[in-house]
Amino acid sequence: MTILILEDEPIIAVDLEEIVCSCQDGNVVVAANLADALRYVAESGGEIDFALLDLQLGRDGTTSLPLARMLMQSNVPFCFVSATTEAIPTEMDTVPQVAKPFQPAEIEAVLPLAA
């Protein structure tokens, strides 16, 4: 199983990775920006089973929405982990959301979607 974490804040990325690794066996890939995440998806041939996506990436207005739309089209489950959940488009209302700051149990609760 491969879980992709797209998070631009290094400390939060490490926290997410530790939570996921403590609950799931498999490969965890961490990307710090949209370009790296998209590159990984392309190079892996789309072999992702689940993703945790921060919505807002950096200060330049970049979001994870291009990747989220790609995952939706490929029927890959994912969850937004974001301080700006109110900015998630209505077409993605059914996608699980965890608001920052989060508790480990909130992340653990969405991981069964990866199974």
Average pLDDT over residues 30-56: 93
Question: At 115, is the pLDDT very low, low, confident or very high (cuts 50, 70, 90)?
Answer: low
Looking at residue 3, what is its pLDDT? Answer: 96
Task: Give the whole-angstrom CA distance, residue 91 versus residue 108.
Answer: 25
Residue 14 pLDDT > 80: yes
Radius of gyration (Cα) for the chain, nearest Å? 13
The structure tokens 């689940």 sit at: 50
Q: What are phi and psi of 88, to 5 degrees?
A: -70, 130
Q: How far apart are CA 44 and CA 66, in angstroms?
A: 17
Quick check: 111 and 92 in contact, CB under 8 A? no
pLDDT at 114: 72
Structure tokens at 39: 């590159």
- Greater pLDDT, 91 or 113: 91
Locate 109 and state its tokens: 């609760």
pLDDT band at 101; cut points 50, 70, 90: very high
Task: For residue 30, report the phi and psi dihedrals to the nearest 5 degrees.
Answer: -110, 130
pLDDT band at 63 (very low <50, low <70, confident <90, very high): very high
pLDDT band at 110 (very low <50, low <70, confident <90, very high): very high
CATH topology of domain 2-114: Rossmann fold (3.40.50)
- Return the pLDDT at 31: 97
Question: What pLDDT, on a 0 to 100 scale, did the predictor assign at position 112?
Answer: 82
